[in-house]
Amino acid sequence: MHPASKPTSEEIAIAKWIKANVLCKKTKFLSHSVEYFTASKAVDKLLTSPWSTAGKNKEDPLFTTRESIVKYLDLLLRKKFFHRARKIPVSEQELKARAKKKEKKKEIESGKKDKSEAEDEKKGDDGESSHAEEKKEKVKKEKRKIRLDMHLEQIFVDGNDAYVWIYDPIPYYYWLAGGGVVLAAVALCLFPLWPPVVRKGVYYLSIGAAGFLMFIFGLAVLR
């Protein structure tokens, strides 16, 4: 099998569009928090995307049928934009074990209630608790949790299979924040070259900021 070539600008644009417009869900995958989407939903969205309509110069659209979209998404899969995963329903035993662990942690943190208070609450709330338990069971049945595992066949299939995102572009504000930090560091290094008026202003500002912090700490100590 030949190694996949580097993605083109068009492929990156389509991957960004899918990530922004197709519903993504979060779950655990090999003890990592990941985002995944359903194959059929991605195909449905791409059928109404800008790449499924004719261009300004009456060019043929990139996507005309579901099959053409599946082929293209299979190409994106081979270029490591996402990978196929297998959905595994979480059993009731696992859910109960997790719930028990959470309850134990809560008991340790908050402490145990007095037995007399607990008995009074149980007597008054027997009917309500039974109804609440029935509702919880119904909700659990309706919202069945799943976990993901690696699929042995790494191909794109138009169905209900899950595809986990590998492509994770860095947001533009990260670059802006990083650039701001670098510029601030350079400006501090050049502090001796600043005009005397600016240096004096910064000096008074630093004294004012230190005084304000001391005032806040003083209020905290008094309280």
Per-residue pLDDT, averaged over 193-219, amounts to 88
- Residues 85 and 164: their CA atoms lie apart, in Å, by 7
Which residues have C-beta within 8 Å of that of residue 3, sequence separation ≥ 6? none
Q: Give the domains, in start order, of the chain with CATH numbers.
A: 9-90+145-169 (1.10.10), 92-142 (no CATH), 173-222 (no CATH)
Tell me if 154 sits within 8 A of 83, measured CB to CB: yes
pLDDT on residue 1: 47
The token pair that represents 47 in the structure block: 């059928």
Residue 166 φ/ψ, nearest 5 degrees: -100, -35
pLDDT on residue 181: 92
Cα 135 to its chain centre, rounded Å, is 29
Pick 19 or 104 by higher pLDDT: 19
Residue 146 has pLDDT above 80, yes or no: no
Residue 164 φ/ψ, nearest 5 degrees: -90, 130
pLDDT on residue 144: 65
Helices (H), 30-65: 39-46
pLDDT on residue 148: 84
* Element spanning 99, H or E: helix 92-110
> Which of 4-8's residues contact partners 24+ apart within 8 Å by CB, and which partners?
4/78, 4/79, 4/80, 5/79, 6/79, 7/76, 7/79, 7/81
Residue 82 has pLDDT above 60, yes or no: yes
Per-residue pLDDT, averaged over 105-118, amounts to 60
The model's confidence at residue 142, banded by pLDDT at 50, 70 and 90, is: very low
3-state DSSP: the chain helix, strand, coil percent, rounded to 5? 60, 15, 30
- Residues 113 and 124: their CA atoms lie apart, in Å, by 16
The model's confidence at residue 155, banded by pLDDT at 50, 70 and 90, is: very high
Pick 46 or 171 by higher pLDDT: 46
Residue 125 has pLDDT above 70, yes or no: no
